[in-house]
Structure 1
């Protein structure tokens, strides 16, 4: 039995980087810290470079450049983050040097990473984790920021447009199969995909995620929209279309409410999904906390409705949302 905690965008740059200099390392995680400590693994999307290199990306226009100093690693360590996706549209915000620094800092901290590297082969390589006697592989891709894409001879991200093409699916089938052959008991497929502020996955995203599950992934871990989207159980496997934001300094949209999110706890018995628990979370500047009433009820009501549209019933129990396998 293994329980993985997953959270969406953790952006430790800009205002967060400044704020955490004067915080205890555990402060940004608030009262969610005990729930994180109880999980066997914790995986997030790292939505910034970790570097002192201060030259921003200059090979194309970019509105936002996110960079945290090496001191932000203490925040990841305090929550026991085991691995991060670095396949996203901010990993190279401070050029290749920023990427290389990020990977080096993560390596020194003992935090796994997937989705970017010195070559395409490096970027495509999974991060390997172990817990509960099982080997877990994290594969990470993104369809954001084509200019960041790695090539066979240059650094960048594991860039992959969302496409049902035979070529794309064959590539992913080979990648997932080779990861299984390398010893993975569970395969987590992370995708930083789509535009911001979209509250439902479009039909072609749903088709793509289902195809990835059918190719052998055990868990689809989506992020990028800054909003949590509904969850779907497909062939007994969870699809988290978008896990929203988790730590950041972002402006809050008063209608879309990107300051409302969830911590996702996914439990497997072997390769069988037995339980999915969603803990409602409320975000403030550089901090996250368990949502309190009446906000908690509002967050849960929205997620129940969005998931119901995808054919997934979530029950509310003791302040959280639950899906439990019928024979679990």
Structure 2
């Protein structure tokens, strides 16, 4: 029985239905974001959008990739990704063989062109390019990346040959619905920002975000907005992040996702939208001891609105997982969920979190107790 069947056919009283997971773990966080009756209308079909954070197939992971292949990092998560209707990731590095760097930076990164086909095979349909590394190898590096994405039939948003193209949404058609993805960078270097005459990333200026959402909502059924923002290793969203995320939802976005800090930030339910301020790392070629946990977020839509979401904590400590991100289990998974609750306390939370037997459960029904959990 799938989740919708369970919710609609369960014998539990309304408001006390829960999601029974048969997934690989045993820790799924479930958020009820709309009333159960809306989920159960005849003829409705759900759409799931899966999002992960920073993805960089290179750096310290190079030796593993050369020895085990570029599909190796995805082996522990590929079934989860494949289960979603749409999967999106932040492609942190250009895929190019070009050698000349665009500007002087402390860290300059790239990945092999071989990685792009593997990303597609791993189940990803969309990548966001608005970040602080996609232009590390200049206009040529970006051009190479876009050509490879086009060839692999991976849609992209957040960068392009000029400002118009950088601000252009990625559109995915699924189950008769149009889902639009917009992506923006709010980090340095500003030299990476696209202009009318030069390639680069889409700047996350308020007027751009508002205008782009207003334009695309005439055509799209669901709008997802991605921001590369905040500071590295910062667990709490900055004031400008909250304002920008709220602005996106106020103007028509249903889901806002963030990355760049390399750690998980809080989650917020704002009006009818969901904000995940930072997903942390997904696959990242570094042995850094910081940012040891990331997460997969899966948002479920009914009638073009978010009805629920799952958060699957990941172990991304490469000294332990050797560049193959893996779902956490038991106490470690519960600890991540509890940490998410704590760092979300300053945000709007029209939901509650219950943890039982290593499972996290977030519900908008304040009447549910831990005894009602599966």
Selected match of 2:192 from 148, 152, 157: 148
Q: Matches of residues 214-293 of structure 1 in structure 2 within 5 Å?
A: 214-253=250-289, 257-283=290-316, 284=318, 285-293=322-330
Partner of 1:81: 124
Selected match of 1:196 from 195, 215, 232: 232
Structure 1 residue 194 displacement after superposition: 1.9
Partner of 1:39: 84
Partner secondary structure for residue 81 of structure 1: coil
The reply on whether 1:304 has 2:341 as its aligned counterpart is: yes
Whose Rg is larger?
A: 2
Structure 1 residue 209 displacement after superposition: 1.0
Partner of 1:314: 353
**Would you say how many aligned residue pairs link Structure 1 and Structure 2?**
313
- TM-score, structure 1 normalization: 0.90
Partner of 1:52: 97
Cα distance in 2, alignment partners of residues 119 and 320 from structure 1: 46
Cα distance in 2, alignment partners of residues 315 and 140 from structure 1: 33
Partner of 2:179: 136
Which gives a bigger RCO, structure 1 or 2 (Cα 8 Å, sep 6+)?
2
Cα distance, 1:293–1:317 mapped onto 2, change above 3 Å: closer
Structure 1: runs of 5+ lacking an equivalent: 162-167
Kept in 1, the 8 Å contact 2:170–2:180? The answer is yes
Kept in 1, the 8 Å contact 2:155–2:171? The answer is yes
**CA displacement, residues 269-316 of structure 1 (integer Å, 9 cap, x when unaligned):** 022211111011001232100113432222122112222332433344
Structure 1 residue 317 displacement after superposition: 6.2
**CA displacement, residues 154-200 of structure 1 (integer Å, 9 cap, x when unaligned):** 11111235xxxxxx34x43221121122x211111111012211000
- TM-score, structure 2 normalization: 0.79
**CA displacement, residues 23-69 of structure 1 (integer Å, 9 cap, x when unaligned):** 254421233221111111100100101001011123xx311111111
Cα distance, 1:325–1:314 mapped onto 2, change above 3 Å: same
Cα distance in 1, alignment partners of residues 356 and 175 from structure 2: 26
Cα distance in 2, alignment partners of residues 323 and 267 from structure 1: 14
Cα distance, 1:7–1:16 mapped onto 2, change above 3 Å: same
Structure 2: runs of 5+ lacking an equivalent: 1-45, 366-374
Runs of 4 or more, structure 1, over 6 Å off, are none
Cα distance in 2, alignment partners of residues 205 and 301 from structure 1: 22
Quick check: 91-100 or 28-37, which moved more? 28-37
Kept in 2, the 8 Å contact 1:276–1:324? The answer is no
Kept in 2, the 8 Å contact 1:37–1:80? The answer is yes
Cα distance in 1, alignment partners of residues 52 and 262 from structure 2: 11
Structure 1 residue 244 displacement after superposition: 0.8
Cα distance in 2, alignment partners of residues 279 and 37 from structure 1: 15
Cα distance in 2, alignment partners of residues 240 and 208 from structure 1: 13
